[in-house]
Amino acid sequence: MSQRLGVFGGTFDPVHLGHLRAAEVAREALALDGVLFVPSGQPPHRPAAEASGLDRFAMLALATAAHPAFVLSDLELRRPEPSYTVETLEALHAERPRSELFLILGADAFAEVGSWRDPQRLLGLCTLAVVARPGVAAAGSAPAGARVVTVDRPTLPFSSTEVRRLVSEGRSVRYVVPEPVADYIEKRELYR
């Protein structure tokens, strides 16, 4: 049986309610059977995450535990080398050959797809599901050959950078991240 699977990658440093809302609106708008969260190991295009891969995976597990359609993958965390989306999608196709993959992206990431590793090969592996982000204009146009769907539904204006800043200032992140994630950050003394 064929499945429609959303693939949502990122550092998730930490996961916040904006991530979860984006995944949910994409799942609902595109009639996805599930959303696979794939925390990055070593992202090639940005500095290393502040929290360890284990901590980021644990926070994602806590944040997604109550949603039956949200699933986690440690595929990129197991790689010792930098993680490239095209390689992740190829591995997911090998694991799930009957799944139709939808790469869930914010409008900001969509503008950069053409500069990612082997963009033409990547575009042949998935449909780009571009989720509008509050305050971020959808810049750029679709690369040639891209299958693109736009998810224009309300999301939340949170960012991981803002969460880390709040924690470093000793301020509350309750109602910005799921409660178990706020507890985890506090107990593990992350982002201080």
| Residue 50's CATH number | 3.40.50.620
Q: HSE (CB half, 13 Å, CA atoms) of 185?
A: 30
pLDDT tens by residue, 130-140: 998 776 655 56
Contacts of 170 (CB under 8 A, 6+ apart): none
Closest to 69 (Cα-Cα) out of 104, 28, 35: 35
The range of the structural domain enclosing residue 151 comes to 3-188
> Per the structure, how many domains does the chain have?
1
Confidence check: pLDDT of 144 > 90:
no
Q: What is the DSSP string of 4-65?
A: EEEEEEE--TT--HHHHHHHHHHHHHTT-SEEEEEE-SS-TTSPPPSS-HHHHHHHHHHHHT
Q: What is the pLDDT of residue 87?
A: 96
Terminal Cα-to-Cα distance of the chain (whole angstroms) = 47
Integer Rg of the chain from CA:
16
pLDDT tens by residue, 54-66: 999 999 999 999 9
What whole-number distance in Å separates Cα of residue 36 and Cα of residue 97? 15
CA torsion angle 164 38 6 175 (round to 10):
-30
Whole-prediction pTM: 0.94
Contacts of 1 (CB under 8 A, 6+ apart): 98
Are 82 and 44 within 8 A, CB to CB? yes
Question: What is the token pair recorded at 130?
Answer: 């571009």
Give me the percent of the chain exceeding a pLDDT of 70.
Answer: 96
Q: What is the pLDDT of residue 137?
A: 58
What whole-number distance in Å separates Cα of residue 62 and Cα of residue 179? 9
